[in-house]
Structure 1
Amino acid sequence: MDSKNRTPIITEFILLGFTTDPEINAALFVLFFIIYLVTFIYVILLVEAFECQLLVLMAIDRYIAICHPLRYPILMRWGNCYRLVALLFIVTFMLCTFPSILSPITICFNQINHFMCEMLAFIKLSCDDITSNELQVFSVSFITLLLPLLLILLSYAAIIYSVLKIRSAGRSKAFSTCTSHLTVVALYFGTAMLMYFGPASMYSTDQEKYSSIFYVIITPMLNPLIYSLNNREVKDTVKKELLGKITK
């Protein structure tokens, strides 16, 4: 075939989008741009902060169950739980997204010394003075990390005080309901606070990356295992499976 009659090689593609109406396109641009701003870098931050609030809610749940068992069905009924979770999500969303959107930074570099877009590593790419941004991150971390941890510690202090009044036969059962939650709290808050409240020189270092592995990957991975092993039905099922394999 003659080379002059060949179809030229396509190197670019044009996306036609939803419509050719410029007004609709402008509205869609604004809508999707806002969605993009909310979801990019912010999803992981929102999930991390929201888990802290859920751990507080679980601590309060255990406090009411142990210290006020008669009022538990009323205070922690499903309707109240749904409202609390929705409220925590809204507050966390506002804390994690609005400050970053209202005070954007100018990016000068495109290499992040991390395995994800971690906020502390990301702001180091800025050309501007990031002192105010670091203060902003510290303030949000104080609300989403230190305050939840303080509430959890206060809840367990009240739980321990109440459990000590119970006769020894019931103490082990009361404490066993809290072991899985305390394990997750120690893993999650310990590593997160080490990174967000550590020295500024630790930002974007290998030590920070290793710390984030625990609260981003390892802790969520271990959550089902930690909570399920504290469930009597799961334990009985595991024992039956193991005994069945041994007898075979």
Structure 2
Amino acid sequence: MAAGNHSTVTEFILAGLTDKPELHLVLFLFFLGTYVVTVVGNLGMITLIVLSSHLHVPMYYFLSNLSFVDLCQSTVITPKMLVNFLTEENTISYPECMTQLYHFIVFAIAECHMLSVMAYDCYVSICNPLLYNVTMSYQVCSWLVVEVCMMGLTVATAHTGCMLRVILCKATIINHYFCDFLPLLELSCSNTYINEVVLLCFSVFNILAPTLTIIGSYVSIIASILRIYSTEGRSKAFSTCSSHISAVTLFYGSLTFMYLRPSYISCMDQSKVSSLFYTIIVPMLNPLIYSLRNKDVKVAFNKIIEKRPFCIS
């Protein structure tokens, strides 16, 4: 069905992060640098895991998938935002807006569940180490990743399908730097009750369910660590999950503030800042967190550098 059948608006203007033109160049350079670090960091992490045989274990298999999700998430948002900093009118067509919304939801939901899967992997490795190879077999890991992808696709299809039925005609300006669900609903001239119910249900499930999984996993992990008598053993066990804890705190903190806050404290300027964390900042920080705080990654990187096949004669 054509976009015009769903909405009287065929093109939107993205308000962006600021209405001060003098800041656009500074913001462009900052987010260009952020995107370059994101691409290099996540592609580097994926390449390192693929090339290093001793990283071919479930933990790094999930980490490579997380890096792929982060790379895609940032690519859905950042290039369009960079272009908008350099143009006078930050326009986006209706089909482009719906496409951006769909892919944003896919990768945001995938990251939610991938982080919970990684928490479960930490739980099994620390609390049931003797059964680790059986519990986290190649088949189990593959199915977990497939389920994460299917969850993202299902939620994105439901949200985007509900959005396509909404008539957007109040204005053409989206008060955000990308096509997000809540700013689009503000432009609706039709009843959005179904959209809000679907958003609330999926938000509760896709934020609270993984959060409870992560909390449950770490309660068991902490209990197991406390039963370890040696300081060295405790330190080693904690270092296994410390990077994941940092990534979870950053991602879920910003996501919860955006989608589960009460409506009476809604503020789009605060929402933009919150959105920046889980769409741009977190995808950049994740590979840095996992590389700087992980000895296995450092060792693998040093081995790759030592084995470089080129030299200058």
Give the 3-state SS of the residue equivalent to 1:166 in structure 2: coil
Q: Equivalent of 1:209, from 250, 268, 272?
A: 272
What is the Cα deviation at residue 92 of structure 1?
2.5
Q: Equivalent of 1:218, from 281, 303, 306?
A: 281
Against the structure 1 CA distance between its residues 151 and 234, is the aligned structure 2 distance closer, same or farther, given a 3 Å change threshold?
closer
Q: Equivalent of 1:88, from 143, 148, 168?
A: 148
d(CA) in 2 for partners of 1:40 and 1:177?
35
Q: Equivalent of 1:107, from 131, 143, 168?
A: 168
Against the structure 1 CA distance between its residues 38 and 129, is the aligned structure 2 distance closer, same or farther, given a 3 Å change threshold?
closer
d(CA) in 1 for partners of 2:160 and 2:129?
42
Give the equivalent residue in structure 1 for 2:235.
172
Give the equivalent residue in structure 1 for 2:106.
46
Alignment of 1:62-77 (within 5 A): 62-77=122-137
Against the structure 1 CA distance between its residues 74 and 37, is the aligned structure 2 distance closer, same or farther, given a 3 Å change threshold?
farther
What is the Cα deviation at residue 166 of structure 1?
1.1
Which of these two proteins has the greater Rg computed from alpha carbons?
1
Q: Which runs of 5+ in 1 are unaligned?
A: 1-34, 242-248
Q: Which runs of 5+ in 2 are unaligned?
A: 1-94, 306-313
Give the equivalent residue in structure 2 for 1:229.
292
Percentage of pairs with the same residue? 40
d(CA) in 1 for partners of 2:151 and 2:98?
15
Alignment of 1:1-248 (within 5 A): 39-102=99-162, 104-108=165-169, 109-169=171-231, 170-201=233-264, 203=266, 205-235=268-298
Once structures 1 and 2 are overlaid, which stretch shifts more, 50-59 or 122-131?
A: 122-131
CA-to-aligned-CA distance 1:162-213 (integer Å, 9 cap, x gap): 1111113311110111111000100000010001011224556111001100
RMSD value over aligned CA atoms?
A: 2.3
d(CA) in 2 for partners of 1:207 and 1:184?
21
What one-letter code is carried by the residue in structure 1 that aligns with 2:269?
A: D
TM-score w.r.t. length of structure 2: 0.61
Say whether the 8 Å CA contact 2:98–2:179 is kept in structure 1: no
